Structure 1
Amino acid sequence: MILAVGLGCQRGCPVDALLDLFNAALAEGGIERQQITALASLDRKQDEPGLLALAQALELPLTFFNAAQLVPYEDRLSHKSETVFAHTGCYGIAESAALALAEQLTRRPATLLVSRQKTAQATFALACAG
């Protein structure tokens, strides 16, 4: 089974804030860090130092999707943000990216195991497939 984490964050979000959210969401879901296969986010975050540092610290691959690749997941989101849509062209990054990555890796339908978890600076979601 593939477990894919989707992440969204504000510009300049520190790696510690992302790691705290990552660890808290996994603990709440009863999931071990070692079970996570990969991370995903929006392509606009390709140069975001906190995301890159998180992937390096966790030793996990980080995949980026553009808004058009995330739009097909709209109807499966637990929360749709008009603000996020205005800035990115998609209604949610963390959940969409998690679903997109899990399906890309398995070529099977994915489901959200952990819906959007949010802090002041970041969002987290976890999808599984396979």
Structure 2
Amino acid sequence: MNTGAMLVIGLGCQRGCPASTLRALLEQTLSAHGIALHQVRALASIDLKRDESGLLELAGQLALPLTCFSAEQLAGYERRLSHRSEIAFERTGCYGIAESAALALADQLGTTPATLLIPRQRGPMSTLALAVVA
């Protein structure tokens, strides 16, 4: 892993998803890919989740900023997604929250276009993706 690379986690979750569920998915995913938690710089989601207690609690536990994007902002990432969810589109107006949010924030933070290092992972009530940018 290039030490100059910035890792950003995108998260999607159902209403009421506890922080412990999100954290378990995060830790399992990072562990499976040999990535240390301290390498993650920020969390991202959709603005519909900006008041989601599990997401806010997780961001607090990890001391990471949580950035939320509008469905309009995330919709622009459709062609870069590994997976398109019709259900997500019906509910939110974008085809994938975790991947889109990770890419959107990594693009915002980096100087080059972001890439998905880990495509959408599903956990109970939750989804996660990891984007990297130089």
- Smaller-chain TM-score bracket: over 0.9
AA at the equivalent of 1:87:
R
Residue deviations 1:25-57, cap 9 Å, x none? 101111000000100000000100000000000
| Structure 2 residue 30 is matched with structure 1 residue 44 | no
Indicate which of 52, 60, 71 corresponds to 1:67.
71
How far, CA to CA, are the matches of 1:44 and 1:71 in structure 2? 14
1:28 match: 32
Q: Which moved more, 1:70-79 or 1:2-11?
A: 70-79
Secondary structure of the structure 2 residue equivalent to 1:90: coil
**Please, what TM-score do these two structures have when normalized by structure 1?**
0.98
Identity %: 58
Gap regions ≥5 residues in structure 2: none
What's the offset of the Cα at 1:71? 1.0
AA at the equivalent of 1:79:
H
What's the offset of the Cα at 1:120? 2.7
**Please, what TM-score do these two structures have when normalized by structure 2?**
0.95
Instruction: Give 4+ residue runs of structure 1 displaced > 2 Å after superposition.
Output: none
How far, CA to CA, are the matches of 2:111 and 2:46 in structure 1? 20
2:59 match: 55
1:100 match: 104
Structural RMSD (CA): 0.6
Aligned length: 130
